[in-house]
């Protein structure tokens, strides 16, 4: 799904001060995959050759359930290693859909009420200038209508601090030092802080780490074999993967940021996944196999966003799920993700189609790169 300047990404707060290209070792190429030809492959080639992404990956699932994978570019700029088709990438804010699904499972179990105040589950946690957990509901967290300020706006140089571990409360406390954007339920603004609070709520209600709950309730339940929530201190990507890079500005060398601590994103963006696993997640979610009908209906209940938010016309936000009209008819449902080194966009449709596009630089080397990823996602769904 699309991103625009009005939305604060995890990487948007980073001051990109480094100048040298960091070096890393070669990566094995994955095998036993079916490469797709045609417009998706050509789109990946454009992302690499015209937009300057080191690598681009895609998975397209048809109505028949068959997934076709494709890749372009190189996994490692230093060695020129082959891109592992369907390699692991940082899923970034796609994590939000997993976190929202867990909260909604708890709603279905009667352990959480969507319209209850956050105060019910996290007493005295949310206090600040215009911020009061007694007035913010669980629904508003998941739908990004809470008014909570986005902590990523105030993080400073995330690139230089990419090996630092951040406690979730540290991220929250950073946000709470600032004024609310609007009264709860009276506006919409993308805020990563909402999902830090959602993660803390999951931990308080279940008594278990949010990563364990996402793993048990979602990843293992639906058989996502190459998706995982990193443990504390886990800075590497475990399976075959392309390296991730950041572009400081146009015309400068790319910096390798593959190895990093994802705690700055936590329940809103730490997940590692593959394009085909991401397709499976959204397909299973929309197919009603993760949530009870009432909770899935709530997840798909959307609100309009401000006209100046920078999203395409018709984009609406549900509970950890974004809807957007397709040029070929109908809606795609999913989420996009930007984190240091990777931009990953994933969506599915009600009739069984799904697609994920991942590019291995974020911030990227070309201004139009994100638009081209968005366009290719639609091509993969409508082709």
Place of tokens 């993080």: 155
Place of tokens 């809103």: 268
What burial class does residue 348 get, using C-beta atoms within 10 Å of its C-beta: 0-12 exposed, 13-18 middle, 19+ buried? buried
Please state whether beta strands 331-339 and 342-348 pair in parallel, antiparallel, or not at all (unpaired).
Answer: antiparallel
Of 5, 30, 93, 278, the catalytic one is 93
Place of tokens 């190459």: 226
Neighbours of 319 (CB within 10 A): 28
Enter the tokens of residue 298.
Answer: 């709530």
**157: Cα within 13 Å, side-chain hemisphere:** 7
**Chain centroid, CA 370 distance in Å:** 14
How far apart are alpha carbons 261 and 222 in whole angstroms?
A: 26
Cα–Cα–Cα angle for 279, 281, 287, rounded to 5 degrees: 100
Q: For residue 93, indicate whether it is catalytic.
A: yes
**Could you list the active site residues?**
93
């Amino acid at each position: 799904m699309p991103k625009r300047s009005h939305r604060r990404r995890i990487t948007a707060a980073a001051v990109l001060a480094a100048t040298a290209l960091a070096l890393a070792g070669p990566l094995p190429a994955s095998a036993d995959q079916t490469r797709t030809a045609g417009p998706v492959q050509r789109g990946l080639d454009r992302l690499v050759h015209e937009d300057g992404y080191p690598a681009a990956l895609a998975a397209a699932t048809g109505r028949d359930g068959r997934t076709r994978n494709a890749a372009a570019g190189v996994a490692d700029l230093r060695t020129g290693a082959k891109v592992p088709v369907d390699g692991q990438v940082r899923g970034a804010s796609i994590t939000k859909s997993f976190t929202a699904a867990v909260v909604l499972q708890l709603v279905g179990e009667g352990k959480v009420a969507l319209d209850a105040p956050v105060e019910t589950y996290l007493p005295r946690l949310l206090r600040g200038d215009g911020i009061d957990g007694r007035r913010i509901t669980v629904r508003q967290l998941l739908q990004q209508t809470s008014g909570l300020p986005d902590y990523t706006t105030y993080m400073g140089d995330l690139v230089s601090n990419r090996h630092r571990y951040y406690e979730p409360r540290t991220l929250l406390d950073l946000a709470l030092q600032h004024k609310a954007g609007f009264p709860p339920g009276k506006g919409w603004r993308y805020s990563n802080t909402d999902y830090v609070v959602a993660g803390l709520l999951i931990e308080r209600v279940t008594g278990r780490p949010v990563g364990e709950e996402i793993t048990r309730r979602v990843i293992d339940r639906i058989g996502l074999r190459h998706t995982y929530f990193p443990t504390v201190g886990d800075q590497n990507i475990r399976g075959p993967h392309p390296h991730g890079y950041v572009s400081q500005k146009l015309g400068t060398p790319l910096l390798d940021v593959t190895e990093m601590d994802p705690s700055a994103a936590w329940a809103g963006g730490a997940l590692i996944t593959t394009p085909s696993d991401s397709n499976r997640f959204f397909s299973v979610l929309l197919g009603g196999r993760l949530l009870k009908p009432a909770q899935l209906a709530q997840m798909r209940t959307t609100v309009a966003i401000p006209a100046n938010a920078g999203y395409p016309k018709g984009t609406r936000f549900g509970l950890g799920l974004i809807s957007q009209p397709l040029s070929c008819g109908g809606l795609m449902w999913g989420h996009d993700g930007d984190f240091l080194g990777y931009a990953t966009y994933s969506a599915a449709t009600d009739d069984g189609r799904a697609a994920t596009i991942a590019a291995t630089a974020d911030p990227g080397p070309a201004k139009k790169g994100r638009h081209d990823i968005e366009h290719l996602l639609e091509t993969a769904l409508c082709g």
